[in-house]
A and B are shown apart, each in its own frame.
Chain A
Amino acid sequence: MACYVDDVPENGGSCIKHGDEQIAIFNFTRRNEWYATQNLCPHKQQMAISRGMIGSAGESCEPKVACPFHKKAFSLLTGECIGEEELVIKTYPVKITDGKVFVGIA
């Protein structure tokens, strides 16, 4: 278990500690979806993705998160940076049971 549902702000993110790893969890209330990614922004190696704003991109409404440092935006589905293909972040599956948030870490 990573945390409780109400630990993560609605339509926002929080960071959890898993051993030495940091994982960003997003509560996309508006879409009734949850996402998890690495917390490290690969652009300038900052642990900040969880503090970024989430939203959608394009006609397909691809869910995304923008790093608070330089607004590099990453797809929450694929982890690919929108506009700069060479940057990619890891994504993880999320499951919600009884108000608890579980993240699948391979």
Chain B
Amino acid sequence: MSKPTIIVVGNGMVGYKFCEKLLARSAQFQIIVFGEEPRHAYDRVHLSEYFNGKTADDLSLSTLSWYTDNGIALHLDDPIQEINRTQKTIHSLKGVVLKYDYLVLATGSSAFVPDIPGIEKEGVFVYRTIEDLELIKACAANAKSGAVMGGGLLGLEAAKALIDLGITETHVIEFAPRLMPRQIDSAGSSMLQMKLSQLGLHIHLNKSTAAIVGDKKIHALKFNDDSQLAVDMLVISAGIRPRDELAKLAGLHVGTRGGIVVNEKMQTSDEHIYAIGECAVYEGMIYGLIAPGYEMADIVAAHLTAADKSFYGYDMSTKLKLIGVDVASFGDAFITEPDCRTILFEDTHKGIYKRINITNDGKNLLGGILIGDAEAYNMLLQTVNNKIVLPPDPEDLILGARGGAASDGAGIMSLPDDALICSCEAVTKAAICSAVNDGGVTSIDGMKKCTKAGTGCGGCVPLVKDLIAGTMKANGQYIKNVICEHFDYSRQELFDLVKINQLKNYDLVLDHYGKGDGCEVCKPVVASILSSLWNDVIVKQEVIQDSNDRFLANIQKGGTYSVVPRIPGGEITPDKLIVIGQVAKRYGLYTKITGGQRIDMFGAHLSDLPLIWEELIDAGFESGHAYGKALRTVKSCVGSTWCRFGLHDSVTFAIEIEDRYKGIRAPHKIKGGVSGCVRECAEAQSKDFGIIATEKGWNLYVCGNGGSKPQHAQLLATDIDNQTCIKYLDRFLMFYIKTADQLTRTATWLNKLDGGMSYLKNVIVNDSLGLGAQLEEEMQLLVNTYHCEWKEVIESPAMRKRFAHFINAPEEKDPTAQFEPMREQVKAKGW
């Protein structure tokens, strides 16, 4: 007997998920999929990431071979034109006619395009598919201003896309008096509007568009109040319309406002035809989120395999980050008094709005809204869904416990076993805990593989992590901080062991304290420890150095390297500038000024590196250690030598400090800054250490960080003189080098340090551990053993030999390293 045939119409996220779910339940079906787009199913939820450098491939939900491997016949670029219900056949645009036993409609939705005069003009787009995005991208290249029609969730996503594409003036036009009217209340909406306006978005509410003005191409929007707004392009995001035309044509029941009517088994008015996702309407409602779509897919898969599962509506709670602003809405967000009690928190300074609705007896949470800070979302949603009894002061849920001990997230473990943690993949707390207990899962990656939790929208990942850690802790499993599978020690423990036993190379360390043959994690850690202790030339142990340290340069796209000579304090003579120019020209290098006040030269072939450095060293340059977890630069402002506001000579002090700590290896890179007055032009407070001149001396700040999680440096000492400043820096840096985990910047190290800044101050300034003299001595040893690594290399024929791409043809360069011209220079050819 042949297998029953299931034809899936639509290869979007839900259509794809249906195939996955059905395969997981049974292999007894012949599956045929039709998609109208040229691509196989991709992640539409994270579509805007396409503009942040994600490729269409990155967004794909699977590989093409997944379909063939699972015996699915996939017809792309071929929409279904007609369903013949009496003969149970479908007819595609390309003329394919096939018979089905069951039909699953997953046709999704299309953008609703209002009937406005001029809507057909060039420069007007919808935001739905990768093809739409490509059209938008092409147009945005020549556009300065753009507008999005629609201030809902998708409209704001589209506005973010325009900003990402470099549109400097982006407008959002909303017909309603507030943004995201479906998800948040008006107070939350005005807070969101304020935050988004601060970020440079122009928001127009209560605006109804009357016409699109322009000859062939859009050049302005005309509104009902007769005002106009000049724009170069328009993206329409005024809502979605379910794609029900095929179903209508086949005589299936559709809703009054569109959508294919389904029952709780997702069956349409024809029992052999199902509809799932955004094209389906259940009890008058269209579910335009991914999680309910996946749920519907599973219900059909269950029904076809005679399992019992039904759809009873779905929680439409959602949390997202819109242009960097957290927005969340959960449970019953809009219920008002007298049906409930409402607790509000509003901070217009930080742009935070929180609202929770609780039952009149104060026992249960009904729903709420979070703007600006949605960290509590997962826990609040769990509290609603599981009807967890509220604490006596429910405001603690959104304000945190005040006065006294902070809550330590113990609430997660108190959730009931059937609490749904990952709603996209329907994974419960019990499933996650058992994966830890019985499956031995200890990481989020392992959990994704084992249970699929966290693989959908990704919103539950923090909660899953906490659950893994909580379960392991509850089992008495000690979560030991170890470097990798080869060393059962933390970096700090290994540092002390290597020091006490005077171990000088990697193999000795591995033989004494490790197992196996090492890896790309522990090798650089040990290399850094050896260097921080003995300060020998690192290329003597080239094969344990990380990618950049191995060749004392930064590996770039295409396999060429960039070269950064040290320019202490950012001070450089005209003669040296000329040398850099000559070298860059001779070797065809792209030059750019770095953020740390020096010059980076890109595109150097491996075999050219020693030649380039020979010339640089001849001119008096030294390695800048831009490739190392080491001191990078000490940035300075010009200070009292020229500046009319300067209090002290910040450049001279910056050079002195940079020369003192150059070459020293640490757990991560170290950056410094010295400012000559409180105006802080050197931005020293964003550095690992920052020094700012005062009337009486210097203020020393430590543990600042730029990067993805910026953090201001904190004050360690005030009004100190040069010697004291260097003494404290010696102690601070050495203490950090000896105790931090690998790849941990000073800011993160401080955040994890028990006792925080007051403890650190005690150790460094008050010498509470009595380590001061020792730390200074250890630092002095490193200072005394400084050497320019590049000088060592060019003077050693054996080391120089390693700088060849082909060991059997050392003169030849890698032919695959290719460049493209850009603004009179070159750039690496794209991946």
A82 to B341, CA, bound (A): 54
Name which residue of chain A comes closest to B517, CB basis.
A56
Asked whether B300 is an interface residue with its Cβ less than 8 Å from the other chain, the reply is no
Is the interface on chain B under 10, 10 to 19, 20 to 34, or 35 or more residues?
20 to 34
A3 & B516 in contact (Cβ 8 Å cutoff): no
Contact A52 B520 (CB under 8 A): yes
Chain B residues numbered 44-92 whose CB sits less than 8 Å from any CB in chain A: 63
- Of A15, A28, A63, A73, the most chain B CB neighbours within 10 A belong to A15
In the assembled complex, B555 has its CB within 8 A of some CB on chain A: yes
Of chain B, the residue at the smallest CB distance from A41 is: B559
**A47: Cβ under 8 A from any B Cβ:** yes
Q: Quote the shortest CB–CB distance from B461 to chain A (angstroms).
A: 18
B551–A31 touching, CB < 8 Å:
no
What per-residue 1/0 map shows which CB atoms of A81-98 lie under 8 Å from chain B?
000001000000000000
Chain A count of residues within 8 A CB distance of the other chain: 40
Interface membership of A78, Cβ < 8 A: no
Closest to B510 in A: A30
Complex Cα gap A12–B557 (Å): 22
Checking A45, A53, A64 against B544 with a beta-carbon cut-off of 8 angstroms, the contacting residue is A53
A53 to B486, CA, bound (A): 15
Contact of B543 among A10, A46, A48, A64 (CB under 8 A): A10
Min Cβ gap A57→B in Å is 7
Tell me which residues from 1 to 53 in chain A have a Cβ below 8 Å from any Cβ of chain B.
2-3, 7-12, 14-17, 22, 25, 28, 30-31, 40, 44-48, 51-53
Q: Kindly list chain B residues whose C-beta atoms are within 8 Å of the C-beta of A40.
A: 816
> Chain B residues near A64 (CB, 8 Å)?
519
Knowing A9-B542, A30-B507, say if A3 contacts B520 (CB, 8 Å).
Answer: no
Nearest Cβ distance between residue A16 and chain B, in whole angstroms? 5
Is B542 touching A56 in the complex (CB atoms < 8 A)? no
Q: Which of B25-33, B701-709, B739-747, B803-811 contacts A (4 or more CB under 8 A)?
A: B803-811
Q: Which B-chain residue is minimally distant from A57 (CB atoms)?
A: B519
Name the one of B517, B543, B559, B809 contacting A9, with C-beta atoms under 8 angstroms.
B543
Whether the pair B542, A66 counts as a contact (CB closer than 8 A) is no
**Contact indicator A68/B555 (Cβ below 8 Å):** yes
B662 in the interface (beta carbon within 8 A): no
Contacts of B516 in A (CB 8 A): 55-56, 61
B721 at the interface (CB under 8 A from A): no
The answer to whether the Cβ of B812 comes within 8 Å of any Cβ in the partner chain is: yes
B814 interface contact, C-beta 8 A: yes
User: Taking A45-B831, A53-B520 as contacts, is the C-beta distance between A12 and B806 under 8 angstroms?
Assistant: no
- State which residues 787-807 of B face A: CB under 8 Å: 802, 805-807
- Tell me the smallest distance from the CB of B369 to a CB of chain A, in Å: 39
- Contact yes or no, B808 A69, CB < 8 A: no
Partner of A56, one of B518, B547, B807, B817: B518
Q: A10-B543, A44-B831, A68-B547 are in contact. Are A61 and B806 (CB under 8 A)?
A: no
> Does chain A have a CB within 8 A of B570?
no
- The reply to whether A17 and B812 form a contact with Cβ atoms under 8 Å apart is yes
Contacts of A61 in B (CB 8 A): 516-517
Whether the pair B518, A16 counts as a contact (CB closer than 8 A) is: no
Q: Chain B's nearest CB lies how many Å from the CB of A92?
A: 15
Known contacts A9-B542, A11-B543; is A53 also within 8 Å of B806 by CB?
no
- CB pair A55–B518 under 8 Å, yes or no, is yes
Distance between Cα atoms of A54 and B522 in the complex (Å): 11
C-alpha gap A56/B418 in the complex (Å): 40
Q: When the two chains form their complex, are residues A16 and B806 in contact, meaning their CB atoms are under 8 A apart?
A: yes
A55 to B486, CA, bound (A): 10
CB nearest to A33 among chain B residues: B517
Chain A hits for B319, CB < 8 A: none
Chain B residues with CB under 8 A of A45: 831
User: Is B519 a contact partner of A56 (Cβ separation < 8 A)?
Assistant: yes
Decide if B550 touches A31 in the complex (CB within 8 Å). no
Q: Which residues of A contact B485 (CB under 8 A)?
A: 57-58
Given contacts A15-B806, A15-B807, contact A68 B550 (CB under 8 A): yes
Chain B positions within 8 Å of A, measured between CB atoms, are 63, 485-486, 507, 516-520, 522-524, 542-544, 546-547, 550-551, 555, 557-559, 802, 805-809, 812, 814, 816-817, 831
Other 13 A-B pairs with CB < 8 A, given A3-B808, A55-B518, A55-B519:
A3-B807, A9-B543, A14-B807, A16-B809, A47-B814, A48-B559, A51-B547, A56-B486, A56-B518, A68-B547, A73-B519, A73-B520, A86-B63
23 A-B pairs whose Cβ atoms sit less than 8 Å apart in the complex: A2-B808, A8-B807, A9-B542, A9-B543, A9-B802, A11-B543, A12-B542, A12-B543, A15-B806, A22-B806, A45-B831, A47-B559, A48-B559, A51-B550, A52-B547, A53-B543, A55-B516, A55-B519, A55-B522, A56-B486, A57-B485, A57-B519, A66-B520
Interface residues of A (CB under 8 A from B): 2-3, 7-12, 14-17, 22, 25, 28, 30-31, 40, 44-48, 51-58, 61, 63-64, 66, 68-69, 71, 73, 86
Return the 7 tightest CB-CB contacts between A and B, nearest first: A12-B543, A68-B547, A55-B519, A66-B520, A56-B517, A14-B807, A17-B806
